[in-house]
Amino acid sequence: MADVLPKVSVRDVGKVFSANGREVQALSGISLDVHDGEFLCLLGPSGCGKTTLLRMMGGLERSSTGTLRIRHDDRSRPATAIVFQDYSVFPWKTVRANVTFALLQAGRSRRTARDEAAHWLDLLDLGGFADAYPETLSGGMKQRVAIARALAVRPELLLMDEPLAALDAQLRLLLQEKLLELWEADRHTVVFVTHSIDEALLLGDRIAVMSARPGRIGTIIDVPFERPRDPAEIRAAREFTELRERIWQQLRREIQQEGAR
Ligand SMILES: Nc1ncnc2c1ncn2[C@@H]1O[C@H](COP(=O)(O)OP(=O)(O)OP(=O)(O)O)[C@@H](O)[C@H]1O
């Protein structure tokens, strides 16, 4: 009955870090399911453990308590791929080689890797920069390389940790729209960490709002906008404004509580 199991199943997960003889309880009692083909956003105050939870899903961190399971059905695809905030691309490789390398690692033949890399670079409007090195690119372009690389290997679960946070406001809007378009074309499972309520409302199917540290899942909001979404229409909708305010009030309380401790 693999098809009824969630893609990601998190049960009562806690995480304690030990640093400089001090223990930090980063997460506590996290339970959450992510379903096949769902775009789930994690939103929460700074330091509430969003990155920690995402890194656990990507196998980069172990939980201290509880269980976290990722359902991996198709062994020809990687279980996960991660896009970080800081444009983590190989600086010594060209744009094309960055993407081709990931595809070779994922088991593609050299020829298929080259063809698929070209396809993804075109989709991310990087076709004209295939032979450039990352240092010659803007932040937005570097991040598009990182996104192309992650999407190209077709992971069963794509994890994104504030991928647009370092971009300027206009570029961020453009890349949000690009991500929306690409995601709606094939609807793979995504967990996306963001600080932006607007971004979460535009992209997400559900938004998990976390409490201040130790992070817990506070509420989970179903985003009511139908797909495919038109960004301009969504941003202008009354429901968008109302939901944004509701989520902000909740975040505000969490941030104030954190500040009062
Ligand atoms: N390797 C580590 N060692 C010690 N403490 C850590 C480590 N990683 C994270 N922490 C602590 O765990 C808590 C959660 O950190 P995390 O980065 O997951 O939060 P976040 O919600 O992603 O924060 P932000 O929104 O600011 O990026 C913080 O208090 C952080 O200092």
The lowest-confidence range among 2-11, 18-27, 90-99 is: 2-11
Mean pLDDT for all residues in the chain:
94
**Eight-state DSSP code of residue 134:** G
Domain boundaries, the chain: 2-60+166-260, 80-154
Ligand 1 atom 28: residue of nearest CA: 47
Closest CA to 61 of 49, 52, 69, 70: 52
At residue 143, what are phi and psi to the nearest 5 degrees? -70, -30
At residue 1, the pLDDT reads 45
Q: What is the pLDDT of residues 13-45, one digit of tens each?
A: 999 999 889 999 999 999 999 999 999 999 999
Query: ipTM of the predicted structure?
Result: 0.98
At residue 2, the pLDDT reads 47
Q: What is the pLDDT of residues 114-144, one digit of tens each?
A: 999 999 999 999 999 999 999 999 999 999 9
Ligand 1 atom 5: residue of nearest CA: 17
In this structure, which CATH number among 3.40.50.300, 3.90.1150.10, 2.60.120.460, 3.55.50.30 belongs to the domain 2-60+166-260?
Answer: 3.40.50.300
Neighbours of 232 (CB within 10 A): 9
Ligand 1 atom 31: residue of nearest CA: 47
Q: DSSP string of 23-85?
A: EEEEEEEEEEEE-TT-EEEEE-STTSSHHHHHHHHTTSS--SEEEEEE----TTS-SEEEE-T
| Cα 71 to middle of ligand 1, angstroms | 26
Atom of ligand 1 nearest to the CA of 162: 27
* Average pLDDT over every residue of 82-98: 94
Q: What is the pLDDT of residues 66-89, one digit of tens each?
A: 999 999 999 889 999 999 998 889
In the chain, the percentage of residues whose pLDDT exceeds 70 is 98
Cα distance between residue 77 and residue 173, in whole Å: 30
Cα distance between residue 261 and residue 256, in whole Å: 9
Whether 187 shows a pLDDT value over 60: the answer reads: yes
* Average pLDDT over every residue of 97-101: 98
Whether 3 shows a pLDDT value over 60: the answer reads: no
| Cα 50 to middle of ligand 1, angstroms | 8
Contact 212, 258 (CB under 8 A): yes
* Average pLDDT over every residue of 88-108: 96
The reported pTM is 0.95
At residue 50, the pLDDT reads 96
Crossing angle of helices 110-123 and 95-105, in 10° steps, is 130
**Could you tell me whether strands 206-210 and 39-43 are parallel, antiparallel, or unpaired per DSSP bridges?**
parallel
